[in-house]
Amino acid sequence: MNSQPSTQSRHLPVMLMESLENLNIKNNGIYVDGTLGLGGHSEEILKQIDSGFLLGIDRDSESIDLANKRLSSYNNYKLFHDSYQNLKNILIELDIKAVDGILLDLGLSSFQLENNQRGFSHKHSSELDMRFDKEIDSNTADKIIKKYDLKNLTRIFREFGEERNAYRIAKMIKESDFEINVLSITSIIDKVTPYRFRIKTYSRIFQALRIETNKELEHLESFLSDFTDLLNPGGRLVVISYHSIEDRIVKHKLKDLKNEKAIKLIFKKPLIPTNEEIQTNKRSRSAKMRVGEKIG
């Protein structure tokens, strides 16, 4: 990302470091990591809040268990198996009126992507599940493919995958009598995509299915509609997104809130990774970070 790193945490990846700096962490503050993952961000927040408190939230119970192990040497945090869109209810349950910072690092973690059972990656032959929350959500990606008609499936591939061949791929999937799984989807893509574009097309189609399976945009929109009530004056929201639609949603909502004088924007343009960072972490190439601060 393109701003000055602090000396305090030079060893960390730049994007992680910048998101922490932009949370403006106070030692006695209350912070929310709304997308806990394996707790990388949370651990760094906890290092800076001896007398504060951290709430970590994730829809994925396996991630919660692993993060809990990672953070076990701290006693000033609590983890929730839930969606960040329910932060308001979580705060009511804890009798907390408002917090000093909220971090969202959207999308999926490498841990989820590399799991060979969950269907997030085109690299592992498995069922096409793709749910973040296997306990609560019943709609897997393969059920969505079976349930949706051609028009709807095309829309998802086009809107969430930005895939040019959306219609052809959706049509072949709907007409196929194969069992739907990772392998059958990649072999259909192979039939309509020149060899050199295949990997990118797999990624776009899998991304689109994941976003729809988890209703990711709905969760984001619902959270953005009331997060300012959950922040103390001066408290910050830091959002890192990896998809142009997500970034657009965040951008427009923060702009509206700025016009209503509910928040100020810390940067006019989003922060993006430097070329150096992209070279060491390819997945960071589409990252955009936006920061808003509640006006009190």
Ligand X SMILES: C[S@@+](CC[C@H](N)C(=O)[O-])C[C@H]1O[C@@H](n2cnc3c(N)ncnc32)[C@H](O)[C@@H]1O
Assess 246 for contact with ligand X (CB under 6 A): no
Helix (H) or strand (E) holding 68: helix 61-70
The residue among 176 and 281 lying less far from ligand X, judged by its C-beta, is 281
Q: Does 193 participate in binding ligand X (rule CB under 6 A)?
A: no
Applying CB under 6 A, which of residues 29, 107, 235, 270 lies at the interface with ligand X?
A: 107
Asked whether position 29 contacts ligand X by CB under 6 A, the answer is: no
DSSP labels, 32-43: EETT-TTSHHHH
Our finding on whether 247 is near ligand X (CB under 6 A) is no
Query: For residue 184, what are the contacts with CB-CB under 8 A and spacing of at least 6?
Result: 176, 178
Q: Does 277 bind ligand X (CB under 6 A)?
A: no
Give yes or no for residue 129 binding ligand X (CB under 6 A): no
Binding of ligand X by 166 (CB under 6 A):
no
Residue 37 binding ligand X, by CB under 6 A = yes
Report the alpha-carbon distance of residue 161 to residue 156 in Å, rounded: 7
- Residue 92 vs residues 88, 98, 204: alpha-carbon distances, Å: 6, 10, 38
d(C-alpha 186, C-alpha 54), whole Å: 41
Using the rule CB under 6 A, is 165 a contact of ligand X?
no
d(C-alpha 103, C-alpha 32), whole Å = 6
Candidate ranges 32-40, 141-149, 196-204, 248-256; the one touching ligand X (CB under 6 A): 32-40
Residues that bind ligand X (CB under 6 A): 34-35, 37-41, 57-60, 63, 83-85, 105, 107-109, 132, 216, 219
